[in-house]
Amino acid sequence: MAEINIYDLPPQVQDWADAIGLSAVTRVIDYYGGTYLYVPTRPGNDHQLVILLGYDTACRFCHAVGNGEHLIPKCQAAMRRLQDQRIAELLQQYPVPEVARRTGLHERTIRRIKSRQPVEKNDQQPGLFE
């Protein structure tokens, strides 16, 4: 399964990942990335962070980030690499049109991502000029 490399994230987000885990940080970035988030000292049971992360993880996040309004980074480069990894995994199981339907992306986008993936060399097949 595809996973973000923690070193692709900004230092402050790496600290959050240490506190609540990489999976939870990914959910926060997916949901709040690029927006301001008011972080309470202790979230109520109906706070969106609790709904998104669960109560214990939301409390750890609030403690790690600190009370106040915070801009949650989009982490576009890391999120794009994660998306590319997920699509590469899907392409091992499904054809391009099916991956496009499953991800909601355009077929051209899937083909572009596929073209950026390294090609596995088949040692059984001789080279063109051998």
Alpha helices, DSSP H only, in 2-130? 11-20, 22-32, 48-53, 55-65, 76-91, 96-103, 107-116
Mean pLDDT of 49-66: 95
Please give the model's pTM, rounded to 2 decimal places: 0.70
Q: Which residue has the higher pLDDT, 124 or 40?
A: 40
Assign 87 a pLDDT band (cuts: 50, 70, 90).
Answer: very high
